[in-house]
Every structure is written in structure tokens, then in C-alpha cells.
Amino acid sequence: MFQQLKNIDSAFKHIKLFTIVLIASCTITRVFEVYEGYKQREQSEQRLYLLEANGRIRTATASSRMENIPVEARDHIKMFHFYFFSLDPDDEVIKDHIGKALYLADASAQREYDNLRESGYYANIISGNVSQRITPDSIIVHTDTYPYHFRYYGKEKIIRTTTIVTRSLITEGYLRNVNRSDNNPHGFLIERWRILENKDLSVSTRRTGDNY
């Protein structure tokens, strides 16, 4: 009888051990599945699907926001200055460009626009058939502190009927993060923007047939 009890006790211990091992195996398997699922979801969120001109879809991996900050910040600053300073003698073109620029900056840019408009700057562009073109020389962004301070260096060409005036343009401001949108694809807003320098460098005679 004692032998039977020993056998029952031994069998119970084996069953108990088997059950523990089985539960542990199931738990480890489940944890591994959850981890792999999370990992795959994270990878899929980093993957962009791009529709090519021929209708085919290709994938591209998205980098983290921090990795892209310097590149996106410089492009945001470049596009703001392009829209604010690239003008033609057409009221609709001026409104369109200034409108796009003001989506990228705060009230400091609005104040600069208001001052120029009140001084007759845009009216003179239209009446004098003047075009403006802006070319960046360098854009320096300090991403070690937030909001990010920047300084823009560029050349501005003022194209009149008979002359072309080349001016230096230096501005500075700060960038803060905002939500991305169709009007603001980089998700930055320029703050405390001001023009540090905008002076004539040279005046040249415009030759017939030259394109600018």
C-alpha cells in the first residue's frame, strides 16, 4: 500500500512538473509573440509607401524626427524666405507668396509684411514692373537648444527694366515645433524673425535677352 502511495505521489510530482513546464513554455511563447508583433508594427509605422508615376508602389524607411531636424529646419527656413522675397509685379502672385510665407512664421513676419505694405513697397513693385529673386548662401541652425535659433544668409536680386540690384540679406529667428499640415509640411513655426541686414552690394545694367 505504501508503494502505491509512493507511486501516486511520484506521478503527481511528475504531472505538477510537467504542468509548470507547459505553463512556462506557453508564457514564454506568448511573450515572444507579443514582442515580435510590437516590433513588426513599429517597423511598419516607419515604412512609407510611395506611389510612382507609373503606378507602382515602392517602400521607403522613415527616419526619426530628431535625425531629420537639421535638414527639415533648413528647408523650412529656405522656403519661408523664398515665398517672402520672391515676388513679381502681379498682385495675385504677391498675395499667394506672402500668404504661403505667413503660414510658416508667427506675427513677427506679419508685422514686417504690414510695414512693407504700408510703406508702398509692394505697390512700387507692381507699378515699376519689378521682380525679386532670393538665393540662399547658407542657413545655420543651432539644434542644441530649443527653440532652435537660426541665421539666414542670402542674396536678393531686384530686377528692374534697365538695372539689376544685388543686395545682401541676413535674417535671424527661432523655430518651434507645431503640427504638420498641408500649409506647413515641416511642422515648424518661425518666431521672433527679424532682418539684420539688407543692403545694396552692386548695381548692373540689364542686358536685353538675359533671363533671371
Task: Write out pLDDT tens, residues 189-202.
Answer: 999 999 999 999 99
pLDDT confidence tier of residue 120, bands split at 50, 70 and 90: very high
Whose grid coordinates read 526619426?
64
Whose grid coordinates read 508594427?
41
CA angle 82, 88, 91 (to 5 degrees): 110
Least confident of 6-15, 62-71, 180-189: 6-15
pLDDT confidence tier of residue 2, bands split at 50, 70 and 90: very low
Model confidence at 85: pLDDT above 70: yes
Interhelix angle 91-102/65-85, nearest 10 degrees: 150
Q: Hey, CA dihedral for 95, 97, 99, 105, is it positive or negative?
A: negative
* Average confidence (pLDDT) over 125-129: 96
Architecture of domain 65-205: Roll (3.10)
Q: Where are the alpha helices (DSSP H) in the chain?
A: 2-45, 65-85, 91-102, 107-118, 121-127
Largest CA distance in the chain: 120
Least confident of 40-49, 109-118, 182-191: 40-49
Model confidence at 164: pLDDT above 50: yes
**CB neighbours (10 Å) of residue 44?**
9
Work out the mean pLDDT of the chain and round it to a whole number: 84
Q: Calculate the alpha carbon distances from 25 to 18, 19, 35 in Å.
A: 10, 10, 15
From 138, 174, 143, select the one nearest 65 (Cα to Cα).
Answer: 143
Least confident of 51-55, 129-133, 167-171, 207-211: 51-55
pLDDT confidence tier of residue 42, bands split at 50, 70 and 90: low
**CB neighbours (10 Å) of residue 176?**
13
Least confident of 10-24, 28-42, 193-207: 28-42
39 vs 32: CA distance, rounded Å? 10
pTM > 0.75: no
49 vs 67: CA distance, rounded Å? 20
Q: Which residue has better confidence, 21 or 165?
A: 165
Task: Domain ranges for the chain, please list them.
Answer: 2-49, 65-205
